[in-house]
């Protein structure tokens, strides 16, 4: 068996996995996006329709994509989702970078314990973790109770069902996705580079800005994307913690799919969202390759 054949056999399984669980579902969603809504189950008309004697006619409906361009409701949902995801990813970066740097510079026998503490929330149900924040952030919750007991406030602060609560929930749930790739990058940095910077008279903050931060950019990019991409389509956290004005694209998709039963429009929403996420990543990869 030649090395080229062995390489193809090794790559066959992941490519088959991607084709089965990504390409095929994407093809179904894309097909539904060009269909017309209809009564019945499934609630859309097939693209191939029979006309005359055994003649199949392909009818593509572009009205769903046209509606997304004409109705500002959907554009606002997209822009709001991108803004929320960008702010959440930035908050995770600001909190997660010091955590990852501290773990990377900790004694080697303590790193596994610190990493376990970062991953520990994943051992609990995602829904339970989000629901727990309701008890913390509500008017009679633990946070307001602690602030009242310390005399920092005179009356409870309305935190629950606000954008602040939504950002707290998203940052808390997706923080490990930022810490782990940052740690993987920072732990591989050569300590002698910082020692050389100190020998040349660079203070710690300048060594960090000119040595550590540039070398950790791959981890920053990876962590930012790992938080940003799922946060764009987040539904559970805005639904449980956000206010009525938090109409993110995940909420809109759920409404169109389950309440309005407009599967073609919901599929068009998903296709446009996927294109908006994949196109910048593909451009970044192309520029990085050049």
pLDDT at 50 (0 to 100)? 59
Contact criterion met (CB below 8 Å) for 179 and 212: no
pLDDT of 36 above 90: no
Orientation of helix 163-186 relative to helix 108-119, angle to 10° = 150
> Which DSSP string do the residues of 223-235 spell out, in sequence order?
HHHHHHHHHHT--
Band the pLDDT of 53: cuts 50, 70, 90: low
**Cα R_g (the chain), whole angstroms:** 24
Rounded alpha-carbon distances, angstroms, from residue 155 to 53, 161, 273: 76, 17, 42
250-282 residue pLDDT tens? 889 988 888 888 888 999 999 998 888 887 778
Instruction: Write out the H or E segment, with its range, that includes residue 36.
Output: strand 36-37
DSSP-assigned letter for residue 140: T
pLDDT at 281 (0 to 100)? 79
Domain ranges in the chain?
Answer: 71-259
Per DSSP, what are the bridge partners of residue 58?
48
| CATH number among 2.30.130.60, 3.40.50.2300, 1.50.10.10, 1.10.3720.10, domain 71-259 | 1.10.3720.10
Give residue 138's Cα distance to chain centre.
Answer: 26
DSSP-assigned letter for residue 86: H
131-159 residue pLDDT tens? 999 989 988 888 888 888 888 888 888 88
| pTM of structure | 0.86
Band the pLDDT of 244: cuts 50, 70, 90: confident
Do β-strands 44-45 and 36-37 pair in parallel, antiparallel, or remain unpaired?
antiparallel
């Amino acid at each position: 068996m030649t090395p080229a054949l062995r390489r193809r056999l090794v790559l066959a399984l992941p490519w088959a996995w991607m084709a089965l669980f990504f390409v095929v579902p994407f093809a179904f969603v894309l097909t539904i996006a060009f269909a017309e809504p209809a009564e019945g189950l499934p609630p859309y008309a097939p693209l191939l329709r029979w006309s005359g004697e055994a003649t199949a006619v392909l009818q593509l409906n572009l009205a769903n994509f046209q509606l997304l361009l004409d109705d500002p409701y959907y554009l606002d949902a997209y822009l709001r989702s991108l803004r929320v995801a960008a702010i959440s990813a930035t908050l995770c970066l600001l909190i997660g970078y010091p955590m990852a740097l501290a773990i990377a510079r900790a004694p080697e026998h303590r790193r596994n314990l610190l990493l376990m503490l970062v991953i520990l929330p994943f051992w609990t149900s995602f829904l339970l973790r989000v629901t727990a924040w309701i008890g913390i952030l509500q008017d009679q919750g633990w946070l307001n109770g602690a602030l009242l007991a310390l005399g920092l406030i005179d009356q409870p602060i309305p935190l629950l069902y606000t954008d602040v609560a939504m950002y707290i929930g998203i940052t808390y749930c997706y923080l490990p996705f930022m810490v782990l790739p940052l740690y993987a990058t920072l732990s591989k940095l050569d300590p002698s580079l910082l020692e050389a910077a100190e020998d040349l008279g660079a203070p710690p903050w300048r060594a960090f800005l000119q040595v550590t931060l540039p070398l950790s950019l791959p981890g920053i990019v990876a962590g930012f994307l790992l938080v940003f991409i799922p946060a764009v389509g987040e539904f559970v956290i805005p639904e449980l913690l956000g206010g009525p004005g938090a109409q993110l694209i995940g909420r809109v998709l759920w409404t169109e799919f389950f309440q309005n039963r407009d599967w073609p429009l919901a599929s068009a929403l998903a296709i446009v969202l996927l294109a908006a996420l994949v196109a910048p990543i593909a451009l970044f990869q192309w520029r990085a390759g050049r």
